[in-house]
Amino acid sequence: MNNYVLAIDASSIVNTGGLTHLYELLNNFNKKDHPEIDEIIIIGSTKVLDYLPNSKFFFKKTSFFLNSNKLLRLIYQTFLMDFFLKKRADILFSLTGDFIGKFRPLIGMSQNMLLYEKKFWKEIKSFKEKIKLLINFKRQEKCFINSNGLIFISNYAKDFISEVVPIENIPKSIIYHGISKRFLNKKNLSKKFDNFSFEKPFKFIYVSTVHVYKNQLNVIKAISNLRKSGYPVSLTLIGPIIYKPYGEKMIMEIRKNDLHKEFINYINEVPHSEIQNYYSDHDGIIFASSCENMPNILIESMGSALPIACSNKMPMPEFLKNGGTYFNAHSTKSIEKALIYLIKNLPLFDQRNGNINKLKFMSWGITSKKTFRFISKIKHQFYV
């Protein structure tokens, strides 16, 4: 296989999830595993590039446009990036799957299911937000149709998107994200719910950004109803508000149900490097999202070995399998039943620490190796 230069388009990366993914891909890159890759060029803002690891095989490329507003970033990606790529690169990997320039060969990646599950758009009242979703959907649709290879991070996403976008003849690979070792905390639960009280409640934690499809309102109502029914439980919510109208509703719901801040604690944001400390300080996990591509937070939660109550919406069962109890995230009553089942059957969850065994094949090292191997395969096919 001929050697080549790989360019990674990170021009749209601004959030923690995408940045963590890119960091781990590069941090786990081993030249011995990929001798055909002469150089990796990463194109992005200075803020993103400064966060990434350094190597003699990496070249970081930025521009005035990439350190400006969204419009200028889009102009650079669509019209100006091609000039640079034609001079320096042999293949382009669009990490966020939204490159709409002319450079080929191109590999796209799917990471955002909200672009496709449009039923949730109805719950978003902001016209500006809906236009943003529509534009991003169109960009990704064009990117995928023009791609020479596509990477998905769940079987669910591949099957769903293949029904929406005509990509049946494009080579595809399913490559799960990895999990950092710091989230693996195997321990024997050995807890009985009878040992908890309103002074020392069974502490649930739900980590997620705040948006309509994350269903924090239903979780708050369920916890409050359980308290009223005599169950000593509490709730910690962690995650930034990414859709303000829903965030405002959540804050109001917390005040309505827990005016004196006795059993619901909302923390706006915690550094990703510290999240595992919050899991270890709680007794059970709730994950109530109803729109995910690959639920990274659920994967990290599985590593904690805590009992998990989870949304039954795919792709959550694809990853958790029989490692938790499920509920309909749109039904407060369903969430309540799942939480009651969990706390009344804690010994059963002691036997479900097999969740950690499921994560053995989800390391960032494996993710990185599979990703660069797929890229090399597509590059070779393109130039044969």
Instruction: Name the residue ranges covered by the structural domains of the chain.
Output: 4-178+363-383, 181-361
Dihedral, 367, 94, 107, 42 alpha carbons, nearest 10: -70
Q: Judge contact between 75 and 65, C-beta under 8 A.
A: yes
Mean pLDDT of 279-292: 94
pLDDT tens per residue across span 216-228? 999 999 999 999 9
Does residue 263 have a pLDDT over 90? yes
Question: Span 181-361: which CATH code?
Answer: 3.40.50.2000
Q: How many CA atoms lie within 13 A of 93 on its CB side?
A: 21
pTM of the model: 0.91
**Which range (132-141, 174-183, 351-360) has the least confidence?**
351-360
Task: Say whether 181-361 and 4-178+363-383 share the same fold.
Answer: yes
Does residue 112 have a pLDDT over 60? yes
Output the average pLDDT for the chain: 92
- Determine the pLDDT at residue 165: 96
Mean pLDDT of 94-119: 94
pLDDT tens per residue across span 63-76? 999 999 889 999 99
Does residue 355 have a pLDDT over 90? no
Residue 238 DSSP SS3: strand
Let me know if 301 is exposed, middle or buried by CB neighbors in 10 A (0-12, 13-18, 19+): buried
Is the backbone peptide bond immediately before 307 cis, with ω within 30 degrees of 0? no
Does residue 190 have a pLDDT over 70? no
Q: Does domain 4-178+363-383 have CATH number 3.40.50.2000?
A: yes
**Which range (22-26, 182-186, 279-283) has the least confidence?**
182-186
- Determine the pLDDT at residue 352: 62
